[in-house]
Amino acid sequence: MNIVLLGAPGAGKGTQGQKLVEDCGFAHISTGDLLRAAVKAGSELGVKAKSYMESGQLVPDQLVIDMVKERLDSDDANKGFILDGFPRNTAQAVALDSELADMGRDLDAALLVSVPDEAVVARLSSRRTCKSCGYTAPAGTDTCPRCEGEMYQRDDDKAETIQHRLDTYHTQTAPLIEYYKGHSILKEVDGNRPVDEVYADVKDLLNL
């Protein structure tokens, strides 16, 4: 099964995607991870991406698509994949559909984890991150339970920054909901509940 994950930052789509990966063996494809890995490896695509990133520019859509396409050619993606963080807009969605068609593949579902903005702000602003290992925990956790490192609040998890990220999401990414609804593959789940309840519904929606 080939799936695109949709949802606002902090909606919990990454958590649901990871559970699907663990249970079903799908390849988890995060464009952020792909970019970082390509830059670190010094690949041809990574060198190109690094030049944009270092100058503060957005990495061009086609370069991201080329990275995704390269990743989709991997053996583990043949049994199914979950795209997390891509596409971010309808132009990228159209390009993705075209590339998949060239590969003789298509998307089975666009899974939307839906959470109200106020819940996202409350959820993310109460999150603390370990300076040493990146582990996340609720506010009030001063010492990392994994490595005993110092916990702090990232700038990304401050209320004003979260609202800006949500505004960007609604402007650029939310139109994807209509795009995939028009393709009759949108599956929406209420993400404002305990993780296991959400996951049970996800499996039902995807017939897993």
By annotation, the residues acting in catalysis are: 13, 88, 127, 154, 165
- Label each residue of 101-116 as H, E or C: HHCCCCCCEEEEEECC
- Listing DSSP states for the chain in one string gives -EEEEE--TTSSHHHHHHHHHHHH-PEEEEHHHHHHHHHHHT-HHHHHHHHHHHTTPPPPHHHHHHHHHHHHTSGGGGG-EEEES---SHHHHHHHHHHHHHTT----EEEEEE--HHHHHHHHHTEEEETTT--EEETT--B-TTT--BEE--GGGSHHHHHHHHHHIIIIITHHHHHHHHTT-EEEEE-SS-HHHHHHHHHHHTT-
